[in-house]
Structure 1
Amino acid sequence: LIWIVKRSATGFKHNLIQDEDCFQSFCNKIFAGWDFCITSENAAKLKKKTLLYELKTDLEDEKIKQKIAERTHKEKCRLYFIRLILNLFVIGVLAACFYCIYLATIFSQKAQMSDQKVNFIVDLIFEYLPSIVITFANFITPVLFSFIINFEDYSPAFEIRFTLMRCVFMRLTSIVVLLFSVWSRITKCKDDPCICGYNHDLYPCWETHVGQEMYKLTIFDFIVIISVTIFVEFPRKLLLRYSNSALAKWMSQQEFSIPQNVLEIVYGQTICWIGTFYCPLLPAICTLKYFFIFYIKKVSLIKNCRPATRPFRASSSNFFFLGVLLIGLSLACVPVIASIAQINCSRACGPFVNYETSWDVVPDTVSQLPKGVEQLLWALSSEAFAVSFFVITCLAMFYVIALAGAHKRVINELRHQLEMEGRDRRFLIQKLCQAQKRSGVRSPQSKFQPRRSSSRSSPSYHTSFATNFNDAVFLAHVAPSSSTQV
């Protein structure tokens, strides 16, 4: 939790700086973007491509902003109506997926608890039915969302994030629906309330059953990733390379989508966090799983995929990915903490069979510690310490907010000062140009003997010329490089 919050805060500061200084992005990249410590030719080429890619992304963003600013009221109304219809359709798709996951979970639980066995294949499908439905929904919905988002006319950066938000909601909420379905079966008995605190007849070891569901999701997710790489992406590459059929001309090469691959990692990590308490070997399984997935994805990226057609700013999305990971951690903590504190422990298995709930082992263990340590721990868990800590945290938060506001005001004043200095420099350069033009038009003799005219012989003309000449001299002393360029 501390590591994710720290990394998220760093990414948030980078995003804040980028959003505040967007008008300087082109100047910073062109005049100060090169790293003069680079000595390798390959590193120089990579840096050049990076700068070119960032400039391309900035230009694309500016183009989208200009297009948005030029929309008429009629176009805006039509676009908002299309977005409303498409969002209602997305909500309907999500609701249908969640309902299918709920039905699949209930059907799978009943099939596993029944004594009638068909055959090995059918029983295996019934056992893995929730994982199959969840994986199928996670595989189909991102493709559907990516197709729908093309008609909503968002900016490229927001389009990626909004699609990811929908996919995140789909993946994480599918886990919530699965846990809710299992929870409703575990805590529901024929004779309410349950005598043991849970359905002992159907789930004598309910912790093991929850761990099995998380294990099934992990294994099935690994199988799907390998299957898609071997049986979809690799044949698609061969078809495009060696075939001249109409299907090959219609298809395009596979794009490597960074957001979707990161989302798959977050999804698998959330499953691992939920199942760690119930299946202690699951982190080791996930470590091996992602070790193999990394090299599989690497080979697929090099051999089967091409870069994305739309520019993607990975640096600005780092905070978004860490925020999604933080949401996954929070989501994983809620059911685990609720089951530890609320649901009674299994009476048939597990390390907590002698306790009412899993949390009861904590005060029992604390009571066996030395007296001083026990009093310290009880004091830290008391209401007085909690209230004091909350008050101190609020005061520190208010101080940080006030400090941030003061820093923001100072930054705005400094920016205003820079703008004023820029205007002053432009004004001085204009004066210098006017003085040079006026002095260049007159002949050398006329510099000492000016013509007698009603306009130029007046004191106001001499005063204006003296002011312009003094400004030019001052500019030559203050900014010699600028006067030389002029």
Structure 2
Amino acid sequence: MINKPHRSVLSCLCPTEEQHLVKELVAMSTRDRIKAIRDLPMSFDDKKHIRCGANMTLARQTLELWRGTMKEVGGKFGTGVLSYFKFLKWLLMFNIFSFLVNFGFITIPQLIYHPTPDIPTGVSFKGLEILTGAGYFSHTVMYYGGYSNKTQGTGGWPEYNMQLAYFFTITAYMVLCGAALIYSMASSFRKKYVLADSGLGGAWQLLCSWDFSVTNERAVRQRKNNLRIQLKESLSEKVQVALLPLTERLKHYGVFLGTWLLSTGMALGCGASVYFLFRVESQTRSPGAATLLLPFVVSLINLVVPLFYSLFKKIEHYSNPRMQVYAIIVRNVILKMSILGILCYYWMKDVANTFSCWESIVGQALYRLVIVDFLFIMLGSFFGEFLSNVIGTKCIQSLGVPEFDVARNVLDLIYAQTLAWIGIYFSPLLPVIQIIKFFILFYLKKVSLTQNCQPPRRAGRAAQMQTIFIAILFFPSFVGALSMVAYTMWTLPPSDNCGPFRGLNTTFSAIQIWMDDLNGVDGFQWIVWIYQHVIRSEIFYFLVSLIILVFIYIFRQITQGRKLLIILLRQQIVNVSSSELSGPKCLVHQCCCV
């Protein structure tokens, strides 16, 4: 008798079910995993495939950066604090990718054809350059001015156009960063907001707010107490809002208006002071350590002014704690972006028309901002967390142990990444500094967290906060940096004495020269046609924008439809539950009547 061919059980599993099975096996111990795979109702080949998938997942987790530290932080402080470290790690990957791309396509070719930088006589490394970024560094490949404008290819090496390499490397990196941010933001929004229901209120706090990643016994007891206090506060706030008279509500609205006007005025005033300080510094042109004055003032503003913003919550009295966090975030974003906007305006309008190699000057200014910002973050960890812990436990015990301010620390990361994105054109190796900075910052914050902070008292929706942070990173952070880089490449004339685009009207002129060269080469006319009729056509960008708007509208309608379907399904569950509860009552009533 001929046996029928055995159909693989694994082929019946969808990819999601297979991934879920592998995930469950990875969570087991080695002995339990071997026994579970042996007991699976599958053929030997299917079991071998599942075992291979589990082993690959384990190997990938073993090589994953900071996995053990992440689990430790999540177990003691919950997913809200853990979201900061995940965000830091995510930004670190951006900078590692940026460094690999810039170093591979821009710096290495420059070092191959010109291994020694053109250092003027009398200029040597003195050590202060590590803080200022000027002096010896200004003549190296650290900045825009250290790169050649010639097509390399002497001495038997193949030809390499530095202008095209510089332009396409920066452009490709910014496009890929934008695509990654849009994908991450859309994915996070779909997962965290489509199913969100703001009307659940206390039911969500009671049934769904427990963080199961917390495993530390002391942290569990503290979170139970915090949840009890949070429920009491929530109920008292609702009663207070319901009983609030009209005069008190008008008073609250007046307080909100006053605090917002004050915070906005402080942000604009700080931006104006930075601009005038920049003007004074450029007129005096102080060398050496004096160049650190401006980044010192900028970092001091970013450290001190948010502390004043945090005092507003004492008089605003938001009934919803999330609205209070959102207000702090918006105020800090306005402050930081107004300062960066003033700096970019000054660089594009004044510096670009004053200095001979202005791109390197801007790169040095961004280098100093990154370095001094890192120093102030370390000081903020000491004064903001360590001293607060000492004061709260030794001097004024009513203050208690401080909490880790996730919103403020994440905004510091967004500000630092914005500096790196703006400087990608002026200093291609600036991501190296950012990588070192984020590595040290991870361990510094981890030590400060475990030694000085307690788990948060309020269990906020960390997943939705992470979506908001990604959205802020995209706009205004990335969009603003992209606008700065695009304006520089498409509008501003490059320096005549340094850099790969010296002698050109704009950076984009290198593409026009390349198209003119390709027009005379057989087989490349189609590239010239695409450039002239597609890339340089306003109709093309109009159609692309129209298609994007149509897709946004379609996905918005799909999202609204899913939300409506979820509401209907929930109502159906309530109706079914009500009918099941009323069924036995009807039967009892009928029996009693008989």
- The whole-number CA distance in structure 2 between the counterparts of 1:284 and 1:81 is 48
Say which SS state the counterpart of residue 403 (structure 1) adopts.
helix
User: Is residue 225 from structure 1 mapped to residue 398 from structure 2 by the alignment?
Assistant: no
Aligned to 1:442: none
CA 1:223/1:89 → structure 2, altered by over 3 Å: closer, same or farther? same
Aligned residues: 407
1:18 matched to 2:196? The reply is: yes
Partner of 1:331: 480
Match of residue 312 from structure 1: 460
Offset from partner CA, 1:327-358 (integer Å, 9 cap, x none): 20011111211121111111111110021111
Contact 2:303–2:376, Cα closer than 8 Å, also in 1: no
Q: Which runs of 5+ in 1 are unaligned?
A: 187-197, 440-464, 467-486
Which residue of 2 is the match for residue 150 of structure 1?
Answer: 314
RMSD, aligned CA: 3.3
Q: How far apart are 1:360 and its partner, in Å?
A: 1.0
Q: Which residue identity lines up with residue 131 of structure 1 in the other structure?
A: P
**Structure 1 pair 275–34 and aligned structure 2 pair: CA distance change class (3 A):** closer
Work out whether residues 493 and 505 of structure 2, in 8 Å CA contact, stay in contact via their aligned partners in 1.
yes
User: Alpha-carbon deviation of 1:42?
Assistant: 4.8
Check whether the contact 1:130–1:178 (CA below 8 A) recurs between aligned residues. no
Report the Cα distance in structure 2 between the residues aligned to 1:405 and 1:87, rounded to whole angstroms.
Answer: 32
State the TM-score, normalized to the length of structure 1. 0.74
Which of 403, 419, 437 is the aligned partner of 1:255? 403
Q: Which residues of 2 match residues 84-483 of structure 1 at below 5 A?
A: 84-112=257-285, 124-125=289-290, 127-154=291-318, 155-186=320-351, 199=353, 202-230=354-382, 233-234=385-386, 237=389, 247=395, 249=397, 252-327=400-475, 328-369=477-518, 370-381=524-535, 382-435=537-590, 439=592, 465=593
Go from structure 1 to structure 2 and tell me whether the alpha carbon gap of 1:229 and 1:44 turns closer, same or farther (over 3 Å shift): closer
Q: CA deviation at 1:387?
A: 3.8
Question: Partners in 2 of 1:346 and 1:401 — Cα distance?
Answer: 46
Residues 303/393 of structure 1: CA separation in 2 closer, same or farther (3 Å cut) = closer
Specify whether residues 378 and 59 from structure 1 end up closer, same or farther in structure 2 by C-alpha distance, changes over 3 A only: farther
Q: Percent identity?
A: 23
Tell me, what secondary structure is at the counterpart of 2:350?
A: helix
Residue matched to 2:208: 29
Partner Cα separation in structure 2 for residue 232 and residue 321 of structure 1: 22
Partners of 1:372 and 1:152 lie apart in 2 by 63
TM-superposed deviation, 1:110: 1.1
| SS of match in other structure, 2:208 | helix
Cα displacement (A) at 1:428: 2.6
Highest RCO, 1 vs 2 (Cα 8 Å, sep ≥ 6): 2
Cross-structure match for 1:80: 253
Cα deviation, 1:34-82, whole Å, max 9, x if unaligned, reads 98xx9xx959998998898778767755553443233221221121122
Instruction: Assess, with a 3 A threshold, how the Cα gap between structure 1 residues 359 and 304 changes in structure 2: closer, same or farther.
Output: same
- Give the residue type in structure 2 aligned to 1:389: V
Match of 1:7 in 2: 184
Structure 1 residues 376 and 88: alpha-carbon distance in aligned structure 2, compared to 1, 3 A threshold: closer
Distance 1:88 1:96, change over 3 A: same
Once the two structures are TM-superposed, the CA of residue 20 in structure 1 deviates from its matched residue by 5.4
- Cα offset, 1:221, TM superposition: 0.6
In structure 2, distance between residues paired with 1:79 and 1:376: 59
State the alpha-carbon separation in 2 of the partners of residues 308 and 411 from structure 1: 31
Q: Aligned partners of 1:319, 1:432: CA distance in 2, in Å?
A: 50
In structure 1, distance between residues paired with 2:226 and 2:247:
35
**1:116-139 superposed Cα distances (whole Å, 9 cap, x missing partner):** x6xx7xx623x2222122111111
Deviation of the 1:175 alpha carbon: 0.9
> 2:170 is matched with which residue?
none
Distance 1:298 1:225 in 2: 13
TM-score normalised by the chain length of structure 2: 0.61
> Which stretches in structure 2 are left out of the alignment for 5+ residues?
1-177, 519-523
Deviation at 1:314, TM superposition (A): 1.6
**Which residue of the partner structure matches residue 165 of structure 2?**
none
Deviations 1:428-474, CA, capped at 9 Å, x for gaps: 344345456xx3xxxxxxxxxxxxxxxxxxxxxxxxx36xxxxxxxx
- Partners of 1:240 and 1:47 lie apart in 2 by 22
CA contact (8 A) 2:515 2:528 kept: yes
Q: Is the 8 A contact 2:357 2:495 kept in 1?
A: yes
2:582 corresponds to which letter in structure 1?
F
Distance in 2, Cα, partners of 1:128 & 1:338 = 27
